[in-house]
Amino acid sequence: MAKSVSKEAELLGMMEKRLKRVTPGPKVRDFQASSPPSQAEQADSQKVERVLFSLHPEDRKTIQTLSAWFAGQGVNISHSMVIRSALRVARPGDELMTAYQEARKLDQRLKKTKKSK
């Protein structure tokens, strides 16, 4: 029994030493704070904003088709990069307005289908 107590004390001592050596992690910013982040904090933060949005099956098929086209060109590309590439070639004008109207009709059609179920 004396051996197990000394063994426990030894293990506790080792754990305490290890805990003392642990350095504190980076400062976590409180999101409830009303003051804007400093320039240094802004520079340290990620420059990419992650966004979550929903796609209709037709949109996913278009993205997959574009990915397949890129693959045919010898480019291995993610769906995210396909969307970003498409955004870079999009320009204001009649073609964009037509694409918006088609997407809007699709949304309305799907809403009607859901209501009827």
**Residue range 29-79, pLDDT digits in tens:** 555 545 566 666 665 565 778 888 888 888 999 999 999 999 999 999 999
Alpha helices in the chain (DSSP H): 2-21, 39-44, 57-72, 79-89, 94-116
pLDDT range class, residue 28, cuts 50, 70, 90: low
**Would residue 89 count as lying in a domain?**
yes
Structural tokens at position 10: 């030894």
**Would residue 78 count as lying in a domain?**
yes
Domain that residue 105 falls in: 57-116
**Would residue 106 count as lying in a domain?**
yes
Residue range 14-32: average pLDDT? 60
**Would residue 20 count as lying in a domain?**
no
Global model pTM greater than 0.75: no
**Would residue 16 count as lying in a domain?**
no
Residue range 97-102: average pLDDT? 92
**Would residue 91 count as lying in a domain?**
yes
CB under 8 Å to 70, separation ≥6 — which residues?
76, 77, 82
Q: Number of folded domains in the chain?
A: 1
**Would residue 95 count as lying in a domain?**
yes
